[in-house]
């Protein structure tokens, strides 16, 4: 068991060390959520009836943008897995005695940790724009956990896609195609209640919806959750474990 954790953390640690060698990647990721808040947020804030009565639209939007920016990074994670396969680095992992689930979970964990940099940026930017944030330690911790879970889930989903499509070119196409529906069929920028029924059904099947829903409750001073935090965490955890279980079966076959 201790061995399993050592191997899992070894994978995550290697990923995070790479990030430390190339901090530009982090910086470039910070730009997108800031632009969404600044440009999209400020315009849409003028539209009446988009957010629930109780909070201003910018408050409503900030958790959505945080989840979205983490999603956009996680969903392209598969590219780096294909890249590692093409280079040969993947062999280094797969020929080791580490259980395949430890390798996949380690990658997922690193992706969750990476997303935290975006959380920092969005918190600062939102605070500067007058969003009423909650900085209670338990709330911040819950927000961190939600973002990490969401990123782990979507990056593992992306890894599964990479195992299926197998080439970078095809993955680029798929990545674009997947991001839009996951993003728009969710409550990230408008409430589920505004959607036509068929889209509401999709939104309720979409883990991003639960990530955003949970974030609204814990990030905002006057926020609340539609589904309840228990449901939000449960959906994310169960979906994440399911993804890891599937990826554990598929990932080793990438060397074939």
Partner 1 sequence: MTVIGTDSPASGGLAIETFALSRRFGALTAVDGASLSVRSAEIFGLIGPNGAGKSTLIKMLTTMLPPSGGHATVAGFDLRTQAGQVRRHIGYVPQLLSADGELTGYENLLLSARLYLVPRGEREGRIRQALELMGLTEVRDRLVRQYSGGMIRRLEIAQSTLHAPSVIFLDEPTEGLDPVGRHAVWLHIRDLRARLGAAVIVTTHYMDEADALCDRIALIDRGRILVTDTPTALKRQIGERATLDDVFAQMTGQAQEGGNYRDVRRTRRAAREHA
Interacting residue ranges for partner 1, rule: CB under 8 A: 3, 6-7, 9-11, 13-14, 17-18, 21-22, 87-89, 91-99, 255-256
CB of 8 to partner 1, least distance (A): 10
H or E stretch at 28: helix 24-35
Beta carbon nearer to partner 1, 168 or 231: 168
Beta carbon nearer to partner 1, 92 or 222: 92
Beta carbon nearer to partner 1, 100 or 132: 100
Q: Return contacts of 28-36, CB within 8 angstroms, 24+ apart.
A: 29/69, 29/73, 29/117, 29/118, 30/117, 30/118, 30/121, 32/69, 32/72, 33/65, 33/66, 33/68, 33/69, 33/118, 33/121, 33/122, 33/125, 34/121, 34/125, 36/65, 36/68, 36/69
Beta carbon nearer to partner 1, 3 or 130: 3
CB of 101 to partner 1, least distance (A): 12
CB of 169 to partner 1, least distance (A): 15
CB of 242 to partner 1, least distance (A): 24
Beta carbon nearer to partner 1, 77 or 93: 93
What backbone phi and psi angles, to 5 degrees, belong to 226?
Answer: -80, -40
> How many Cα atoms within 13 Å fall on the side-chain side of residue 190?
14
Is residue 221 within 8 Å of 232, Cβ to Cβ? Answer: no
CB of 249 to partner 1, least distance (A): 13
CB of 211 to partner 1, least distance (A): 29
Is residue 74 within 8 Å of 158, Cβ to Cβ? Answer: yes
Q: 104, 78, 83: which is closest to 177 by C-alpha?
A: 78
The one-character DSSP state at 192 is G
The one-character DSSP state at 88 is T
Beta carbon nearer to partner 1, 58 or 102: 102
Q: What residues are paired with 220 via a beta bridge?
A: 133
What backbone phi and psi angles, to 5 degrees, belong to 29?
Answer: -70, -20
CB of 182 to partner 1, least distance (A): 28
Beta carbon nearer to partner 1, 13 or 129: 13
Q: How far is CA 115 from the centre of its chain?
A: 7
């Amino acid at each position: 068991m201790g061995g399993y954790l050592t191997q899992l953390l070894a994978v995550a640690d290697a990923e995070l060390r790479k990030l430390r060698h190339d901090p530009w990647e982090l910086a470039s990721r910070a730009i997108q959520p800031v632009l969404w808040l600044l440009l999209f947020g400020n315009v849409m804030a003028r539209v009446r009836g988009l957010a629930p009565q109780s909070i201003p639209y910018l408050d409503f939007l900030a958790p959505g943008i945080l989840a979205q920016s983490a999603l956009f990074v996680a969903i392209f994670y598969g590219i780096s897995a294909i890249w590692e396969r093409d280079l040969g680095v993947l062999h280094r992992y797969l020929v080791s005695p580490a259980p395949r689930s430890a390798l996949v979970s380690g990658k997922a964990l690193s992706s969750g940790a990476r997303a935290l940099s975006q959380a920092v940026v969005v918190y600062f930017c939102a605070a500067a724009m007058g969003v009423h944030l909650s900085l209670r330690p338990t709330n911040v911790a819950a927000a961190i956990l939600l973002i990490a879970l969401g990123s782990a889930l979507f990056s593992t989903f992306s890894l599964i896609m990479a195992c299926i499509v197998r080439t970078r070119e095809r993955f680029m196409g798929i990545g674009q195609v997947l991001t839009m529906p996951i993003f728009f069929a969710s409550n990230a920028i408008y409430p589920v209640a505004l959607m036509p029924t068929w889209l509401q059904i999709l939104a309720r099947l979409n883990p991003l919806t639960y990530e955003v829903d949970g974030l609204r409750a814990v990030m905002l001073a006057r926020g609340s959750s539609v589904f309840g935090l228990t449901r939000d965490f449960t959906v994310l955890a169960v979906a994440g474990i399911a993804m890891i279980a599937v990826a554990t079966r598929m990932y080793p076959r990438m060397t074939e």
